[in-house]
Amino acid sequence: MSRKRTLSDETKISGTDKTLIDFWNWGFSDLLSNSLRGIFAEFLIGGALDCLNQSRIEWDAYDLIYRGKKIEVKSAAYVQSWHTDTFSKISFNIGAKREYSYTTRKYSTEIRRHADVYIFCLLKEQDIDTLDPLNVSHWEFYIVPTKILDERFPSQKTISLSSLSKIAKPVRYDEIKPKIDEII
């Protein structure tokens, strides 16, 4: 039996005067934090591909399924939610990993990249005064078939933006679906 259920912003938290939107606003409003930015990037890609038909599964071997293809979404940003004097150096995790089975509750023995396509999402805006993760024009997206990563970077765990730029050109949000359709 699944413990997941569909929740709404007005779902009451039993025994309190709070609703789920109170919790979401309190805990999940900083889209510049690394973990939330990554989940938000997955949501953006799922929206662009119209494949948000099931809830997100934490620690899955890939993030989305579109037209039968497994999509891995990675994100990075120059500006972080913590204060720094310099912009972050952009790199993305592309390391191979074991796949976890929620049915058997065990990891596979095979270590590999499990997705068919990677989409690298860069929150590119560097002006902290205008930076808005909710504005898709502040993002750019790099789409790479996994077979290219496997051929060019077989054992590499991360890829820099400069290396990524040699194998893919950035696309805008409205170009994601046509580019993926072209690739697959």
User: For 20-44, what is each residue's pLDDT tens digit?
Assistant: 999 999 999 999 998 899 999 999 9
State the chain's mean pLDDT as an integer: 93
Query: pLDDT band at 127, cuts 50/70/90?
Result: very high
- Asked whether residue 4 carries a pLDDT value surpassing 80, the answer given is no
Structure confidence at residue 1 as a pLDDT band (50, 70, 90)? very low
Give the tokens for residue 67: 């037209």
High-pLDDT (> 90) share of the chain, %: 80
What is the per-residue pLDDT for 84? 74
Give per-residue pLDDT as tens, 68-110: 999 999 999 999 988 778 999 999 999 999 998 888 889 999 9
Question: Which long-range contacts does 154-162 make (Cβ < 8 Å, 24+ apart)?
Answer: 155/96, 156/94, 156/95, 157/93, 157/94, 157/95, 158/91, 158/92, 158/93, 158/94, 158/95, 159/91, 159/92, 159/94, 159/120, 160/89, 160/90, 160/91, 161/76, 161/90, 161/91, 161/122
Residue 158 has pLDDT above 50, yes or no: yes
* pLDDT score of 102: 83
| 3: confidence class by pLDDT, cuts 50, 70, 90 | low
Whether 2 has a pLDDT exceeding 80, the answer reads: no
